[in-house]
């Protein structure tokens, strides 16, 4: 399954936090990467969270208005936990040279 670097970091961060990730914690995954301008960052984070939910890797929790869902937090599904563990296993260890 093809995932963006932001989606990968969200999966790994939520696994480290016990399977549940708040939206504010997902924002910290994005700010270290440089990425888009500030006014587009919320849209990018929302799209990434929605795509993780659509793929069945996470379950979203939030508020519903008549027009839209506002995602407050996500929780990994068993499929999402498996994918996050696979991402952690594929990371290459850095050698302490120098």
Token code pair at residue 1: 């399954």
Q: Give the span between the Cα atoms of 32 and 80, in whole angstroms.
A: 23
The predicted pLDDT at position 23 comes to 85
pLDDT in tens, the chain (98 residues): 799 988 999 999 999 999 899 888 887 766 655 566 777 888 888 899 999 999 999 999 999 888 888 899 999 999 999 999 999 888 777 778 76
> What are the extents of the domains in the chain?
5-89
Residue found under tokens 């290459």 = 92
Q: What is the CATH number of domain 5-89?
A: 1.10.10.10
For 46-85, b/e burial (b = at least 16 CB within 10 A) is bebbeebbeeebbebeeeeeeeeeebebbebbeebbebbe
CB 10 within 8 A of CB 73: no
The predicted pLDDT at position 7 comes to 92
């Amino acid at each position: 399954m093809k995932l963006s670097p932001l989606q990968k970091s969200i999966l790994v961060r939520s696994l480290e936090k016990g399977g549940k990730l708040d939206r504010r914690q997902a924002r910290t995954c994005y700010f270290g990467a440089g990425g888009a301008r500030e006014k587009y960052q919320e849209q990018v984070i929302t799209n990434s969270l929605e795509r993780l939910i659509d793929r069945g890797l996470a379950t979203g929790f939030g508020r519903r208005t008549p027009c839209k869902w506002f995602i407050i937090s996500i929780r990994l599904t068993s499929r999402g936990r498996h994918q996050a563990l696979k991402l952690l296993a594929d990371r290459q260890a850095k050698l302490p040279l120098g």
